[in-house]
Amino acid sequence: MARAFSVEKREGSGKYVAFALRKQGKIPGVVYGKSLKENINIALVLKDFLALLKSGERIIDLDIGGEKMSVLLKAVQHGTYQHEVLHADFRAISGDEVIEVTLDIEITGEEDAPGVRAGVVFPEAGISWIDKEIEHLHTRPQDKFAVDPGDIAAFREHILPFWKGKSLEDAIRAGFTKVVFVIRHSFEKDFREVFTPERFGGRIAVDFVFQELDYLPSGYTVPEGREKPWGTNHAVMMAGSAVNEPFAVINADDFYGKDSFKVLGDYLQTLHSSENRYAMVGFSISNTLSDNGTVSRGVCSEDAEGNLTSMTERHGIERREDGQVVFVDPTDGSQQPLADNTPVSMNMFGFTPDYFTHSEEYFRTFLDENAGNLKAEFYIPLMVDTLIKRGAASMKVLPTDAVWFGVTYKADKPVVVERIKSLIASGEYPENLWK
């Protein structure tokens, strides 16, 4: 017999509602499922929910203000501090429905056994946001610009479908066995319906965590007027409750190439129980340029052992007519040379789980130092640079032959479309990455 558990319906959502609930000793939750016309927002008494978690029960008879239904406890969102429980997800089930449940299994063995293939953290915002807003960018009060119908069609027909499946396909081929999407509650329902284990043929486990403005350490609140997300490293921190193995971090809307996933995955497999040994994929700068204008890149320097010593943001990078790659020196505006094989960061990193602890500790310092800056963001390179300068961690620069490409300029669009068609025509990727 399933365990009975009572909750109440919740009106509204967002940071202020969640904050008010926590002051009452409650947490927000949601019930979703194919049998429901819409998600049901709920509030749970925290101490009762903790007792439920301790019991190990997962199939529950949920009483929502007198309305009863059978549900599966699908996910629990933990805070990054003091093991706080922030949110609970329940899936409504019916007697004739088959539910796939992922079991947590601990694998033990000899010290020299092959390493666990890391989970992938996939901060997702760019793709969904662009797809939703692309027709309305010209109406924004800030940075308004128009996108012509031809570009919108090319994006949705060629680029978007490929981008969405490309990184996961490469990760699966490289041996990654788990993907963690960092999303927001505002598009949770639509996202869950699309990104399911079945979508990828059961080849990779799928998990979700949430990044919200009010997911802060105890004692901190969202500054009045703050609307901007806290940045990429804050997004990574949200995955701390879902990742227990060496893991990769990528942008959702970048094309990295299959070799980059392979070299990073192979490195992560060697780490076993190591700590403070990180990695980044170093793309040759010649493989990241646009033919239609200058770009900005994080130019990397290494020591004799191939470990990162510095990452400097360089602007105005281009290949001149004489073939030389250059950047613009900010001190005098002159062009300075860069070798074609100079490694640059395209935000593809590998970490061990101790990185979460470092990030949680330093995030407090970041908040204190930027209390009055409503636009400050906690970026991954900032955290990495801090740890390297302290001597607390090392970061191996892993060279790759992969070619990164994206739409930096309007004129890049037909080039990207043709490259996608070429990759599909050559058989490197299936025409439909979703099947």
Could you give all domains of the chain from N- to C-terminal order, each with its CATH number?
3-92 (2.40.240.10), 119-425 (3.90.550.10)
pLDDT of residue 38: 84
pLDDT of residue 113: 35
pLDDT tens digit at each of 435 positions of the chain: 568 899 999 887 665 677 778 778 898 888 988 778 888 989 999 989 988 887 777 788 899 988 989 888 887 776 544 456 778 888 888 655 555 444 433 333 333 334 444 444 544 444 454 555 555 555 545 444 555 666 556 555 545 554 455 677 788 888 888 888 888 887 777 777 777 777 777 778 888 888 888 899 888 999 999 988 898 899 999 988 888 889 999 876 677 888 999 999 999 989 878 899 999 999 999 999 988 888 889 899 999 999 999 888 899 999 999 999 999 998 899 999 999 999 999 889 999 999 999 999 999 999 999 988 998 999 998 999 999 999 999 999 999 998 877 666 667 767 777 777 787 787 776 665 544
Q: pTM of the predicted model, to two decimals?
A: 0.65
d(CA 8, CA 29) in angstroms, rounded, equals 10
pLDDT of residue 267: 94
pLDDT of residue 94: 67
pLDDT of residue 42: 93
d(CA 63, CA 40) in angstroms, rounded, equals 12
Q: What are phi and psi of 173, to 5 degrees?
A: -65, -30
pLDDT of residue 233: 92
| Cα first-last separation, the chain | 38
d(CA 286, CA 36) in angstroms, rounded, equals 51
pLDDT of residue 429: 66
pLDDT of residue 110: 36
